Amino acid sequence: MNPARRSFLKTTGALGALALAGRARPAAAESNTPTAAPPRGLPANWRTLRKLDAHNHVFGLAHRPNADWAEVERLVAAAGKLGIDKLYCSRPVTAGVMANIELVRESNDAVLAAMKRYPQRIGGYCFVQPGNGAAALDEIDRCVDAGMVGVKLYNQFKYSDPAVFPIAEKCIARRIVFLGHSAYLTDPRTLALQPKTSNALDFGALSRRYPELMLVLGHINGGGDWEWAIRALRDFPNVYLDTSGSVLEDDAIGRCVRELGHRRVLFATDSTMEGCVGKVLAADLSPEQREDIFWRNYQRLLDRRTA
């Protein structure tokens, strides 16, 4: 592997500035401070560029009485510092746990509570466990009727498994986004722990069966060989990818755009908020391409609900 191409983002000024942004003064104080010149490598209007985070999470159980809202408040504050208009969040039951419908509902109730508390800042995905059958489909209806915009699946089933097909069909019927956890795993120990994690080919199989499905591969930089995943998606033009993931390697966004076209790329952070804003800013994009990735592409999917 070429170490130069696998190096961290070259635009270190952009990432450094975003790291400082997360620790900046409160907005009220900033409004009275003269605007300084942006650090080298950052567009002058980077903070005010509209951004929709297509993949984030609400942690904790904020819906419970006397709950601690600190984590959600930090999430909202970070979005404000980085100019992220809205965060589309889920609270999945992870590690492949075959969660029962009661646990699934509790997770979704936490997201609904956050949406109610911060309606301008937090949107929601409904997490479901396909093994719950008809109850999972009813849960999607409950959550979408309450304002959620899509479904989030984790790794309880591969997305090529027939157990997932009714979930996809429900998403098509409700005109909502299907966001899936992804990884390309090669380490035997990790595979043993997550045997049903889906890779790009599983997304492709689901998309081939349901070409009308608004299918999003989560965190292209969040699990294994992202270059392989991008190449694999060339064969499946109806699959979008999101830019999230904690791997901040050089030219990841540029490769996505060159291989797939910028209209299939959605800005997202999956909680790596500063780094994921930074890697879109650091990519070699036109202003129009950057804005499409930051918000327009995802907004087009959301708009299909009322088409």
Q: Is residue 30 part of a domain?
A: no
147 CB neighbour count, 10 Å cutoff: 12
Q: According to the model, what pLDDT value does residue 45 have?
A: 87
| CATH code at position 137 | 3.20.20.140
Q: According to the model, what pLDDT value does residue 184 have?
A: 83
In the chain, what's the furthest Cα-to-Cα distance? 58
Q: Is residue 36 part of a domain?
A: no
Q: According to the model, what pLDDT value does residue 276 have?
A: 96
Q: Is residue 286 part of a domain?
A: yes
Q: Is residue 211 part of a domain?
A: yes
Q: According to the model, what pLDDT value does residue 64 have?
A: 67
Q: CA 162 from chain center: how many Å?
A: 24
- How high is the mean pLDDT in each 10-residue block of the chain (307 residues)? 42 43 35 48 85 93 70 94 97 88 95 95 97 98 98 96 98 98 82 88 97 97 87 96 90 95 97 95 94 98 85
AA identity, residue 197:
T
Q: Is residue 29 part of a domain?
A: no
Write out the two tokens for 74. Answer: 């930090």
Q: Is residue 17 part of a domain?
A: no
User: For the chain, how many structural domains are there in total?
Assistant: 1
Give helix then strand counts, H and E, for the chain.
13, 8
Torsion angle (degrees, nearest 10) of CA 85, 153, 253, 172:
-80
Torsion angle (degrees, nearest 10) of CA 113, 71, 296, 215:
-70
Q: Is residue 267 part of a domain?
A: yes
Give CA–CA dist 282/241, Å, rounded: 18
Q: According to the model, what pLDDT value does residue 11 have?
A: 42
Q: Are 79 and 31 in contact (CB under 8 A)?
A: no
Q: According to the model, what pLDDT value does residue 39 have?
A: 52
The pTM score is: 0.86
Give CA–CA dist 278/6, Å, rounded: 16
Determine the structural domain holding residue 112 and report its residue range.
Answer: 51-306
